[in-house]
Amino acid sequence: MRGNNRANVYNDEQDKYHLMRCIGEAHQRFQFTMVAFCIMSNHFHLLIQSEDELSKIMARINRRYSDYYSKRYQHVGRIYQRRYYAKAVENPHVLLIISRYIHRNPIETVVPMVTDLIQYPHSSFPSYRQPENAMLPYLDQIFLPQLLDMPYSKDAKGYCQYCLDSIVPDKGVVEDWVVGRELE
């Protein structure tokens, strides 16, 4: 989801934490698991597997956040550029590439938001890096590491190393899955 006209819709920590509350509330109503997420200033990425209709999950999350945003900022009109974008990822290799892209968002921007991914709290990466501190009941930290090939170990440590390695994924693969926008 991206802010209308690429405007920031997650302006501060409170906004980003509120979006997380909206996701948590949706999880109480619908069946889904998430394997990666990242909330930036003007967009967010969710990589989820859902047993319920994704449109209902996203409608719930986006409506709850839009209501909050409109009230907090006295905003009138839509805050999102368009309906959410979703595409099934059935190839394990592509799933890993997309998850790494999501996790690397805070350091791959024109002006990096942090120097180390562990420093960015609005992503699932810290939950992989420090699984003992993970507190999100809908986050599955086991699935992605199991997809790794050598030289990475099939655990959270191996997955974090995979994300941290400076290997740039094939731009075409990412663009095929992150439709309608340039890489940041």
Query: Per residue in 5-20, pLDDT tens?
Result: 788 899 999 999 999 9
**Is the Cβ–Cβ distance between 80 and 2 less than 8 Å?**
yes
Neighbours of 14 (CB within 10 A): 11
The answer to whether 45 touches 36, Cβ cutoff 8 Å, is yes
Burial per residue of 95-119, b for 16 or more beta-carbon CB atoms within 10 angstroms, e otherwise: bbbbbbbbbbbbeeeeeeeeeebee
pTM here?
0.85
Q: Percentage of the chain with pLDDT > 70?
A: 89
The answer on pLDDT for 168 being more than 60 is no
What pairs with residue 2 in β-bridges? 43
Q: Is the pLDDT of residue 65 over 80?
A: yes
The answer to whether residue 132 scores a pLDDT higher than 90 is no
Q: Is residue 125 very low, low, confident or very high in pLDDT (cuts 50, 70, 90)?
A: very high
Query: Is 124 exposed, middle or buried (CB count within 10 Å of its CB: 0-12, 13-18, 19+)?
Result: buried
Name every residue whose Cβ is closer than 8 Å to that of residue 86 and which is 6 or more positions away in sequence: 54, 58
